[in-house]
Amino acid sequence: MIATHSQAIAAQATRIVRIVDGRIIAADVLAATDGVPKVNRSIREQRDGAILVAAHDLSRSFASGDRSFRAISSVDFSIRAGQSIALVGRSGSGKSTLLNLMAGLVDADQPGSMSWPGFDESRPLRPQQIAMVFQAPSLIPALSVIENVRLPLELAGSNSVDFLDPMQVMHSLSISDLAEKLPDQLSGGQMQRVAIARALVTRPKLLLADEPTGQLDRATAHEVVGALLKAVAAIGATLVVATHDQAVAVEMEEQWTIERGRLAVSPNERDAA
């Protein structure tokens, strides 16, 4: 007996039993969650297309014992405002490292470079500039849901008129009734919705999502992706999603494939083509 949310693994089984809300059902529930809303093109067209992030000969190595391995190797790209990009690749291909480099969470190896022309270069990772959503639950466990969502506002200075109302964002993600709950009391899907709400509340220009549905079953993953795209479209943010799930990838305008630390098709080459 194998418990999985992977359709590929499920296809190998002689019998499939689906569980929804703790009850075994016979029907295929995926049909109900298909049809994730596409990004609102009209909003995207209003973007000026300015470069937010650019990389030149970007590399990053990590030490493992007395050896080192290259997670990212000589990558060039630029991300313009309004793009939605799926960063596709197998586990260990370098997707997360590339996202961390984009966010400025880790530093690039010399002589390659990473620049953020669209942001304050000295500290690009600020609530109103770049926001991140991670694969693992990333809520502060001692803060309630509403406090977690409000946290970036406090960090950014909550008096800005550009920011969204946390309760409205939560309402749009269907988690407003969870406001006073603690992260320990939430399911994985609920936690990711809260993480998305927290990422969006300051209207970031760039949202980086690292396998946001990696720990969710397919039905919940679709719900979360749907909610993410809808919210991103609403605020007009640029979106980069690292995923190995093709179903998620196809929802983005562009798919960048990464293999062994290299972008299989260079975005710049493709642009040139």
Q: Which is nearer to another protein, 222 or 261 (CB)?
A: 261
Closest CA to 80 of 242, 237, 261: 237
Binding residue for another protein (CB under 8 A) from 73, 144, 172, 213? 144
Closest CA to 74 of 99, 110, 103, 104: 110
Contacts of another protein in 161-220 (CB under 8 A): 182-184, 198, 210
d(CA 50, CA 41): 17
Give CA separation, 67 vs 61, 94, 161, 183, 265, in Å: 10, 17, 50, 38, 28
Is residue 125 at the binding interface for another protein, with CB under 8 A as the rule?
A: yes
Q: Facing residues of 238 across strands?
A: 206
CB 152 within 8 A of CB 198: yes
Binding residue for another protein (CB under 8 A) from 59, 83, 93, 129? 129
Is residue 249 at the binding interface for another protein, with CB under 8 A as the rule?
A: no
Is residue 120 at the binding interface for another protein, with CB under 8 A as the rule?
A: no
Is residue 106 at the binding interface for another protein, with CB under 8 A as the rule?
A: yes
Is residue 141 at the binding interface for another protein, with CB under 8 A as the rule?
A: yes
Applying CB under 8 A, the residues found at the interface with another protein are 62, 96-97, 100, 103, 105-107, 123, 125-127, 129-132, 134-136, 138-144, 147, 150-152, 154-158, 182-184, 198, 210
